[in-house]
């Protein structure tokens, strides 16, 4: 608010609140002052006690007069001056005089007091005061060293006051202060404090912050209260750059901090770079590397500073003995915190003595990027070094071939063991159980399908066909009926329906187990089917993928053409475990394989094919 607050607080046989003007949160600080009045000689009811206290948001001036009754009874007026309005000593002195008159009167003039405290004052940037101490420690100021208008005017707030609970003010008509333990601040120099504001955000480059150059570098991002004319040491910070110090002084209230001319310098340290070998990034060459930035040698633990302009395209050179040097232009202002550079081996030369076919020796110079540099090891395959001479040896060739053969054998053995392990795992059930052993392992047996009665026959709508009439069905256009079924409107192929057509027997098993070669072999017969052509096209497109397991889950004997296409076109998933945690049963695989390999003439058509018996599978 931009007004002065006012409240009358009376204590006589208990507390009571009188007139309040401009009420707000500040009234929470209005309390019983009987303990403070004990510091005075309050026998003379014509005298006044006046003291000050502070909260973060303003100053309180309390004027109290003793009243007849029990000891400590009083009438007190509380004047609250917010720290965001400008109230001078000349403004507050007349208010103090009016308040004293009203406290002395038998009845307060409410209209007069209300009018005085309804005046608006100029607002300023607010800055928190240090609030008064909660400990019962008191200090005083006698009018004389400084006039009252200074004590309660522009200089009413002094940072030293925060060390005390209240500051007692002794003027001409004030009560006598009798407590001898009160600290006397009368001669303490009074300095005017002003509000100091941080720079306008728009005046600072992105990423720049302002801090006080004190312990901890506190952030300067809101107004603070400082002594007038005092030099304030500040630091402008930017991540990755050298700090820029700046000093300002405050000469007027609401002064905004100045902004210096920025000449940012980037700090570059050696640990920002990593040098590795191009042929093997695990070979770290950083410790052996010489690194220069703009022709300045970069040493360990000795960062260098480069200007913002020079850092935008800095010339960085890397060199390591035995490797080709590299030179790059790097934007060090926006580069990653770690810059990795790869160096290629430099070509080197070595001289070797080598045995000739006639038994004499000759000197041979070898030049390559890949010479090991080991003078005791032969650089040529099939040669060994003996007495400083390279000599051809069959053992060297045999050694290389033997190593290759053994590696091939080892690979074959590992593959065989893997296949055997997989087959064993695929032919056993695993189930956790209470007792010993905790994991029960059972071999999966073969599963027999329920037999069908020889009198059952396949039906297709209203027509029935028996095995004896199979040849006649083929001759009478069963292929066209098979194609018509493949192109049914729903686009779903049921296993029970597929086996009704000789041309489609085994197709379900081939689709379910992804036997693409067998499916494509049917293309010459079934090429007239649009749905079958979609499946063949999807197989040709995804011929390089590996599909494992079955398309259908256990108990599912239908294939939707659109879903099958999507399955082929999607990335291949890893084989999933069955619903009860086990692997697909071997008996189911054998049943599918048997169905796909059995000639059509040997299959017994039935109306309702029996379901395969499913083993009880335990989770792993």
Q: What is the pLDDT of residue 445?
A: 52
Residue 292 near residue 317, CB atoms below 8 Å: yes
pLDDT at 505 over 50: yes
- Tell me the average pLDDT across 474-494: 83
- Tell me the average pLDDT across 502-514: 92
pLDDT at 66 over 80: yes
pLDDT at 620 over 60: no
**Confidence bin at 596 (pLDDT 50/70/90):** very low
Residue 240, in any domain of the structure: yes
Same structural domain, 106 and 137: yes
Of the given ranges (213-227, 423-437, 536-550, 604-618), which has the lowest mean pLDDT?
Answer: 604-618
Structure-model confidence comparison of residues 114 and 578, the more confident one? 114
**Confidence bin at 279 (pLDDT 50/70/90):** confident
* Antiparallel, parallel or unpaired: β 166-170 and 138-142: parallel
Residue 401, in any domain of the structure: no
Q: What is the pLDDT of residue 366?
A: 82
* Mean pLDDT of the residues in the chain: 82
* Antiparallel, parallel or unpaired: β 304-307 and 280-284: unpaired
Pairwise CA distance, residues 494 & 255, whole Å = 87
Same structural domain, 473 and 584: yes
- Tell me the average pLDDT across 242-247: 91
Residue 620, in any domain of the structure: no
Same structural domain, 334 and 388: no
Q: Which residue carries 């850092």 as its tokens?
A: 311
Residue 534 near residue 504, CB atoms below 8 Å: no
Residue 133 near residue 162, CB atoms below 8 Å: yes
Residue 575 near residue 549, CB atoms below 8 Å: yes
| CA nearest neighbour of 287 among 318, 330, 329 | 318
Instruction: Name the domain boundary from 158, 184, 210.
Output: 184
Q: What is the pLDDT of residue 316?
A: 92
Phi, psi of 585 (to 5 degrees): -75, 145
Within 13 Å and on the Cβ side, how many CA atoms surround 240? Answer: 14
Of the given ranges (92-96, 149-153, 451-455, 603-607), which has the lowest mean pLDDT?
Answer: 451-455
Pairwise CA distance, residues 82 & 26, whole Å = 9
Phi, psi of 404 (to 5 degrees): -65, -40
Alpha-carbon dihedral 590, 593, 595, 596, rounded to 10 degrees: 180
Of the given ranges (39-53, 57-71, 344-358), which has the lowest mean pLDDT?
Answer: 344-358
Of the given ranges (321-330, 369-378, 543-552), which has the lowest mean pLDDT?
Answer: 369-378
Residue 610, in any domain of the structure: no
Structure-model confidence comparison of residues 308 and 66, the more confident one? 66
Structural domain for 224, as ranges? 193-263
Helix (H) / strand (E) element for 470: namely helix 470-475
Phi, psi of 504 (to 5 degrees): -110, 5
Q: Which two tokens stand for residue 202?
A: 């728009």
Same structural domain, 337 and 229: no
Instruction: Name the domain boundary from 135, 166, 184.
Output: 184
Phi, psi of 410 (to 5 degrees): -60, -40
Q: What is the pLDDT of residue 122?
A: 93
Q: What is the pLDDT of residue 589?
A: 44
Residue 407, in any domain of the structure: no
**Which strand ranges, in their side-by-side order, compose the sheet holding 361-368?**
361-368, 348-355, 389-392, 383-386
Pairwise CA distance, residues 375 & 380, whole Å = 12
Residue 169, in any domain of the structure: yes
Percent of the chain topping pLDDT 90: 41
Q: What is the pLDDT of residue 397?
A: 60
Pairwise CA distance, residues 588 & 595, whole Å = 11
Same structural domain, 77 and 168: yes
Residue 409, in any domain of the structure: no
Same structural domain, 208 and 100: no
- Tell me the average pLDDT across 385-402: 74
| CA nearest neighbour of 368 among 352, 353, 349, 381 | 349
Structure-model confidence comparison of residues 472 and 445, the more confident one? 445
Quick check: bond before 66 cis, omega within 30? no
Q: Which residue carries 């032969």 as its tokens?
A: 378
**Of the ranges 27-36, 301-310, 421-430, 452-461, which is most confident?**
27-36
pLDDT at 473 over 50: no
Same structural domain, 209 and 112: no
Same structural domain, 550 and 524: yes
> The domain spanning residue 296 has which CATH number?
2.60.40
Q: What is the pLDDT of residue 375?
A: 64
Same structural domain, 247 and 366: no
Instruction: Name the domain boundary from 263, 294, 316.
Output: 263
Q: Which residue carries 């200090």 as its tokens?
A: 139
Q: What is the pLDDT of residue 10?
A: 92
Pairwise CA distance, residues 388 & 385, whole Å = 6
Which letter, b or e, does each residue of 266-287 get, where b requires 16 or more Cβ atoms within 10 Å of its Cβ?
A: bebebebbebbbeeeeeeebbe
Q: How many distinct structural domains can be found in the chain?
A: 5
Pairwise CA distance, residues 288 & 284, whole Å = 9
Is residue 116 helix, strand or coil? helix
Structure-model confidence comparison of residues 429 and 603, the more confident one? 429
Same structural domain, 311 and 326: yes
| CA nearest neighbour of 54 among 160, 132, 168 | 132
Structure-model confidence comparison of residues 37 and 461, the more confident one? 37
pLDDT at 88 over 50: yes
Q: What is the pLDDT of residue 372?
A: 67
Instruction: Identify the bridge partners of residue 275 per DSSP, sorted by sequence position.
Output: 341
Structure-model confidence comparison of residues 361 and 78, the more confident one? 78
- Rg of the Cα atoms in the chain: 50
Residue 415, in any domain of the structure: no
Q: What is the pLDDT of residue 382?
A: 76
Q: Which two tokens stand for residue 60?
A: 């309180």
Pairwise CA distance, residues 485 & 505, whole Å = 13
Q: Which two tokens stand for residue 498?
A: 């597929």
**Of the ranges 158-162, 572-576, 609-613, which is most confident?**
158-162
- Tell me the average pLDDT across 339-365: 83
3-state secondary structure 558-585: EEEHHHHHHHHHCCCCCCCCCCCCCCCC
Q: Which two tokens stand for residue 361?
A: 């020796």
pLDDT at 374 over 80: no
Same structural domain, 211 and 243: yes
The model's pTM:
0.47
- Tell me the average pLDDT across 226-251: 90
Same structural domain, 558 and 464: yes
Phi, psi of 249 (to 5 degrees): -130, 150
**pLDDT, tens digit, for every residue of 338-350?**
889 999 887 777 7
């Amino acid at each position: 608010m931009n007004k002065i607050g006012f409240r009358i607080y009376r204590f006589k046989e208990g507390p009571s609140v009188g007139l309040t003007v401009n009420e707000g949160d500040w009234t929470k600080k209005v309390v019983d002052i009987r303990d403070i009045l004990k510091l005075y000689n309050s026998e003379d009811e014509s005298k006044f006690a006046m003291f000050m206290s502070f909260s973060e948001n303003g100053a309180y001036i309390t004027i109290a007069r003793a009243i007849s009754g029990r000891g400590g009874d009083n009438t007190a007026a509380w004047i609250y001056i917010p720290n965001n309005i400008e109230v001078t000593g000349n403004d507050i002195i007349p208010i103090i005089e009016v308040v004293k008159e009203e406290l002395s009167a038998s009845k307060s003039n409410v209209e007069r007091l209300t009018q005085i405290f309804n005046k608006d004052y100029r607002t300023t940037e607010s800055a928190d005061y240090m609030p008064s101490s909660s400990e019962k420690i008191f200090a005083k100021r006698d009018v004389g060293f400084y006039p009252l208008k200074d004590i309660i005017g522009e200089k009413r707030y002094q940072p030293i006051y925060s060390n005390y609970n209240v500051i007692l003010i002794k003027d001409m008509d004030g009560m006598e202060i009798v407590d001898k333990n009160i600290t006397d601040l009368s001669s303490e120099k009074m300095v005017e404090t002003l509000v100091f504001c941080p720079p306008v955000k728009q005046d600072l480059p992105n990423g720049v912050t302002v801090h006080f150059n004190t312990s901890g570098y506190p952030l300067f991002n809101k107004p603070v209260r400082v002594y007038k004319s005092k030099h304030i040491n500040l630091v402008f910070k930017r991540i990755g750059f050298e700090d820029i110090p700046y000093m300002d002084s405050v000469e007027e209230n609401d002064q905004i901090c100045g902004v210096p001319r920025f000449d940012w310098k980037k700090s570059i340290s050696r640990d920002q770079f990593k040098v590795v070998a191009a042929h093997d990034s695990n070979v770290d060459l950083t410790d052996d590397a010489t690194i220069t930035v703009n022709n300045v040698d970069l040493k360990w633990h000795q960062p260098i500073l480069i200007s913002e302009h020079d850092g935008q395209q800095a010339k960085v050179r890397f060199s390591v003995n035995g490797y080709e040097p590299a030179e790059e232009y790097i934007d060090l202002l926006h580069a990653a915190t770690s810059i990795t550079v790869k160096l290629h081996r430099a070509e080197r030369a070595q001289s070797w003595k080598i045995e000739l076919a006639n038994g004499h020796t000759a000197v041979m110079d070898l030049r390559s990027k890949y010479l090991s540099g080991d003078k005791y090891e032969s650089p040529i395959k099939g040669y060994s070094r003996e007495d400083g001479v390279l000599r051809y040896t069959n053992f060297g060739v045999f050694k290389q071939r033997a190593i290759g053969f053994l590696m091939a054998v080892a690979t074959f053995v590992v593959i065989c063991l893997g296949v055997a392990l997989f087959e064993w795992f695929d032919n056993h059930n695993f189930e956790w159980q209470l007792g010993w052993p905790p994991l029960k392992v059972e071999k999966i047996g073969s599963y027999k399908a329920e037999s069908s009665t020889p009198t059952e026959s396949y039906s297709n709508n209203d027509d029935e066909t028996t095995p004896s009439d199979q040849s006649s069905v083929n001759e009478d256009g069963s292929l066209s009926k098979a194609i018509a079924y493949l192109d049914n409107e729903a686009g779903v192929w049921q296993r029970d329906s597929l086996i009704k057509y000789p041309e489609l027997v085994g197709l379900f098993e081939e689709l379910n187990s992804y036997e693409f070669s067998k499916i494509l072999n049917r293309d010459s017969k079934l090429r007239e089917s649009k749905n079958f052509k979609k499946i063949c096209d999807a197989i040709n497109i995804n011929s390089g993928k590996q599909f494992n397991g079955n398309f259908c889950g256990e108990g599912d004997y239908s294939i939707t053409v659109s879903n099958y296409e999507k399955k082929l076109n999607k990335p291949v998933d890893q084989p999933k475990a069955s619903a009860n945690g086990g692997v697909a049963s071997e008996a189911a695989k054998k049943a599918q394989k048997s169905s796909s390999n059995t000639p059509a003439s040997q299959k017994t058509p039935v109306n309702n094919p029996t379901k395969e018996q499913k083993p009880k599978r335990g989770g792993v």
